[in-house]
Amino acid sequence: MNRKDLFLKAISTMLHSWGGDTPPEAYWTLTELIEWYEAEYGVQLDIPEIEENYEWAEAVVNAIRNDGNMNEDLNRFNQLI
């Protein structure tokens, strides 16, 4: 992925910008992004069974971050969080 940092930043914004609890629709969207990401990059992310909570979402972000499709821009994202 050319700009993985921007992809992860968009996921983070989708999950954490609600001013309260993350709505179920954000988690549903995340599952669709997982399906796309795995198909696009030919990877199987090591993530737990879906749960609509912060811990599951963070596990997804960490799985994407550490899936081996790294780039130099990822360091910038890691510095932001």
Domain coordinates of the chain in residue numbers? Answer: 4-80
Count CB atoms within 10 A of the CB of residue 58. Answer: 12
pLDDT recorded at residue 35: 95
pLDDT recorded at residue 61: 92
pLDDT recorded at residue 74: 56
* Each residue's pLDDT tens digit, 48-69: 888 888 899 999 999 998 887 7
Block means of pLDDT (10 residues each) for the chain, 81 residues, are 88 90 93 94 90 90 84 58 61
* Whole-angstrom distance, CA of residue 26 vs CA of residue 20: 13
pLDDT recorded at residue 20: 87
Whether the pTM exceeds 0.85: the reply is no
10-14 LR contacts (CB < 8 Å, sep 24+): 11/57, 11/60, 11/61, 11/64, 12/61, 12/81
Retrieve residue 7's tokens: 């992809």
